[in-house]
Structure 1
């Protein structure tokens, strides 16, 4: 007996007059239940947004943030959901056209790169949108052509790849921490413009972002990671050393932006002190860089489920059921 049949039987049992009246009542009940479930699904989607903001809520510490801050948060969530809707359209266009997109996120530690990447990928198809966050090279990779380990993560047709740090490690952390020689550093700047031009000529679009924060803001975010057990995993010995070498990182950043800013793949600087504004500004700008448009699809109609009178659902052993603690 399907859902409509059960509702019809319940209506007849409740004393509704004719069978037609009972069936009409049953249809209304089924429709109400369907809408209730759809609303629950929608609310669950909004809950995901709130869960993404748990770090911010913990920082607020339960204090009254004031009417203005509360209003700004409403604007933030509204705009974020709208922009994520546009990202879905953009990915649809990328898949339909076979476009290849590389987005590079660079910046100091705790600048907000990971936060914006999470918001970009949250609603997208993970099979066609990948995040590449490579660890330090192993002994074998150190003997390869420098760009070799990054090449294997480049997108195929219909894909977008977000690099959470990229080949620009050589121009940043490797230079500051003396992980590369002067000759390797100079060779990188001779090679990287040609490497990126070659990618662009082959049809790969490259968008490069540098997330900029102040000295004071980085100190606050690092201290937050020290104090918050949910964030401590984000803090590494390398992060602490980068804090000490703030001025050295400033110098290599300036050199990097100057020597690798090319027309085919220019740098874009995101002001990252205000995390929420940085996320919205970056996503909005990324959308403006891709010439996408909405792709029309045939209307999807959910087929009716096939019911067989001899179908019997087998019970699941109680020992296999996850305890319902909540």
Structure 2
């Protein structure tokens, strides 16, 4: 019995020792993570000041609606017109005031030209296209896109005029009854981009077209919502966590599949002497630069640049138009002034 008790005591000692070792390793790991996080996030010398930084989460400031502007003004009052905040792994420098913003974005444009490192966009675009690229690749792609859009035979103004007629017809179908303009305006704006990039427009009720719009809208919504921002703050963790943010990558695969299909059709009947749209321009540039070792003109960049045009063009323009309609509905006097201004400027140029 004494031997049994001794064995039991020995087992307790072993278990206690293992538990102590496990606890010690855990404490050491936490301390090392805290030190690494502190070294990574500490503000460099001469960096704009800001609120106290906490481990892993960064700045603990309530930017939730509806008082986010009040929080910003409080920070301006405390730290001045240039200050910094951190959310997870993301560092932001806030510049306030017309002169300071002009100094940064106009007088020192080259210094501030680089895109921020946003983990979610980096995961989607892989540093390609226009939104998430930097340096030489960004300058090369941006210069080409601007040149290509100018060189396409039919101007933006003509495409807008053409699509405005389809939009007017769609609105007239409502016969003066109340309706939500979201779907029709998004369809019209997206069709203008489709005609420039794909060389064709879609009927508003086309199921494939509507799926494209739905995927674009929901992807942008998910990127900007809480889950998207959480992914940007803690990408190393959120890659393994289930949640709505995973829809972004599923939607992106579908969008890539759709655009790759359009590119494949263009390649089948491509004629280097004829430029129908943006994709034709890019295919021509790929052929022209195939022997250039430092060229970034390839099909992957074509895919990302095309999707960039949709992501940055459709929702932003459509939202601006919807807000303008709402503003004029709320303020009829402004609506009247706007209408009179259009009549004055456009009389004779658009017919009826």
* TM category, shorter: under 0.3
TM-score by length of structure 1 reads 0.26
* Structure with the higher helix share, 1 or 2: 2
User: Which structure is richer in relative contact order (CA contacts within 8 A, separation 6 or more)?
Assistant: 1
